[in-house]
Amino acid sequence: MKESMIIMILNMVGIMLTFFSIVYAAGVVWRVEKKLDISYKLFLAAILVYAVSLFLELFNVLDATTMELYISITKVLFIALFLGGVLTMRDLVRELDGEKE
């Protein structure tokens, strides 16, 4: 029982931190252009998908196999979107440094 309470509290903290991340990433998306915009849109999408996975975990009280599948899918999607944002940001930095034309 105690572990389930700790997990619920950690999920709530994760949801709050995710909310702040969404607000700040959305603020950046509204102010930037071109590749930086694409990168932050990918980061924002990744954060939103991560928030969905946290909500799914929070409401998975029955430990249903189908819900576990959806949670796993959202986590893989999060990683894919985050990696896309990082790679886009990397290309932008390489262009700014003159490494890439």
Per the structure, the complete domain to which residue 9 belongs is given by 2-96
pTM > 0.85:
no
Question: 41 lies in a domain?
Answer: yes
Q: Is residue 27, in this structure, part of any structural domain at all? A: yes
Please state, in angstroms and rounded to a whole number, the distance separating the CA atoms of residues 8 and 53.
14
CA distances from 79 to 45, 62, 83, 93 (A): 11, 26, 6, 21
Residue 57 lies in a domain: yes
Q: Is residue 101 situated within a structural domain? A: no
Report the domain count for the chain: 1
pLDDT confidence of residue 84: 93
pLDDT per position as a tens digit, 15-67: 899 889 888 888 777 777 777 788 888 999 999 999 999 888 888 777 788 88
pLDDT at residue number 91: 86
Residue 30 falls inside a structural domain: yes
- The pLDDT > 70 percentage for the chain reads 98
